[in-house]
Structure 1
Amino acid sequence: MTVRVSGVLQQSVWASVVSDDAHALRGWLLRLGFNEDLLIPGEREDAIHHCQLDWPEGGRILLSSTGERSTPCRPGTASLHVVTADPDAVLARTAALQARVVHEIVDQTDYPSRDFTVADPDGNHWTFATFAG
């Protein structure tokens, strides 16, 4: 097996997400706007051992199928914050996925951010926000 990576080095923290249906979650994230950097198939049929997905504006998440790696992570227990200059465009993509919106898009009043939160197919919460800290 040949493993290819994009060569793009991502700084910062990389969050790990585990999924009972990692291929479905991978597809969901790609349709939201993430780019695949690396995919290593799992030992079991239709499993993902390790997948790296990059957000075009910076940052990376790691995805694997439940049971593929030793980790305390469990499907549906993550809450992630993704910085984007255009949360409205990301929200439009979530509508095409029929994703469950957890928090509607809002302009925050106590800090400078426009953001919303959506649940992925496993139940993880993804907040897309202009606030970068």
Structure 2
Amino acid sequence: MTMTPQNSQRTDHSIWPALFSDDPHALRRFLTGLGFEEGIVVPAQSSTQAGGEVVHSELLWPEGGRIMIASISNDHPSPHQVDLYVVTDHPDEVYAKAIRLGAEITHPLAEQNDHDSRGFSLRDPDGNGWSFGTYGG
């Protein structure tokens, strides 16, 4: 298990979505490219190589919250595409990162007057929808 001092003292009392992927390492790289921070990675006991199966991992959003990512397994035989919303005070910065990553943008960065929000949406390599915006409820 890998743990950094930053996330060892952090506790979130919120909902943690779980994503299952054919290539959890690629999904983690994509999401860290958008601004998520590294959290723990628990490899499968049978996986001795880097890039092997992941039983559990976490990525932390710097403004609060986290997500879990694991390999597709017998318990989770296929990815379930989901749509996720991430609250951020910095949608322009995240959008610029998404463009640099070559992300599939599904809704470009814009003001959303009906929600008094600024944000955008994209698809990750597994087809999950992600929206990043200033609307916090």
With structure 1 as the length reference, what TM-score do the two structures score?
Answer: 0.89
Counterpart residue number, 2:112: 108
8 Å CA contact retained: 1:36, 1:51: no
Counterpart residue number, 1:48: 54
Relative distance call for 1:76 and 1:123 in structure 2 (3 A) is farther
Offset at residue 109 of structure 1 (A): 1.6
Q: Could you tell me how far apart the structure 2 residues matched to 1:27 and 1:124 are?
A: 15
Q: Report matched runs for 1:34-113 at 5 Å.
A: 34-42=36-44, 43-44=46-47, 46-67=52-73, 70-71=75-76, 74-75=78-79, 77-113=81-117
Counterpart residue number, 2:34: 32
Structure 1 residue runs without a partner (length 5+) = none
8 Å CA contact retained: 1:75, 1:124: no
Amino acid at match of 2:19: V
Counterpart residue number, 2:21: 19
With structure 2 as the length reference, what TM-score do the two structures score?
Answer: 0.87
Secondary structure in 1 matching 2:63: coil
Q: Could you tell me how far apart the structure 1 residues matched to 2:79 and 2:123 are?
A: 12
Give the number of aligned pairs: 130
Deviating above 2 A after TM superposition, structure 1's stretches of 4 or more consecutive aligned residues are 2-7, 42-45
Identical amino acids, percent of aligned pairs: 41
Secondary structure in 2 matching 1:110: helix
Q: Could you tell me how far apart the structure 1 residues matched to 2:8 and 2:72 are?
A: 25
Structure 2 residue runs without a partner (length 5+) = none
The Cα RMSD (Å) is 1.7
Secondary structure in 1 matching 2:41: strand
